[in-house]
Amino acid sequence: MEYKSKNRSQTQKIAKDLSQKFKNTGGIIALMGDLGAGKTTFTQGFAKALGIKEKIISPTFVITRQHQIPNTNRFLFHIDLYRLENITSLPEIGISEFIDQKNSIVIIEWPEKILNLLPDETIKIKIEKIKNNERKIKISP
Ligand code: ADP
Ligand code: MG
């Protein structure tokens, strides 16, 4: 699916719509795009739609931020791999535990470095800046 977004809230609406698929199930989302494309903005919309009240910021100095999904025993793990290099296995960056928890949702910014290590069923999203506030958002499958 391919979407056009003209502002932050349209990007967050697209994220909200995707979050509905995860109401009762976990999964992994690889969120690609350059700096400033809108990956964190997308994650904010996704988290808000799940009822998460905590502030979603780019987890730049810690790799992972963990947010409980209200009224559930499930978690949203927000991961940012921007600063990591030469990753050859998931255990070495400590994220295999989350990925193995079938119930949790894992959103990964800068997943390019570990794409080949992620399960086949990973949802891949690419956000591209077209100009100013315009973004193209591609979700596959
Ligand atoms: P990333 O996490 O990809 O580096 P951020 O979400 O932190 O990007 O930042 C995206 C920036 O682009 C924000 O300042 C946001 O206000 C701006 N922006 C402008 N238009 C859009 C849009 N259509 N969708 C998402 N962000 C947008
Ligand atoms: Mg970010």
DSSP 78-110: EEE-TT------SGGGT-HHHHH-TTSEEEEES
What digits encode the pLDDT tens for the residues 78-121?
A: 999 998 888 888 888 888 888 878 899 999 999 998 999 999 99
pTM listed for this prediction: 0.95
User: Using one digit for the tens of pLDDT, what is the confidence trace for 13-35?
Assistant: 999 999 999 999 999 999 999 99
Atom of ligand 1 nearest to the CA of 7: 23
- CB distance 58 to ligand 1 below 6 Å: yes
Q: Any idea which ligand is nearest the CA of 38?
A: 1
Q: Near ion ligand 2, which residues have CB within 5 Å?
A: 39-40, 58, 109
Ligand nearest, relative to CA of residue 78? 2
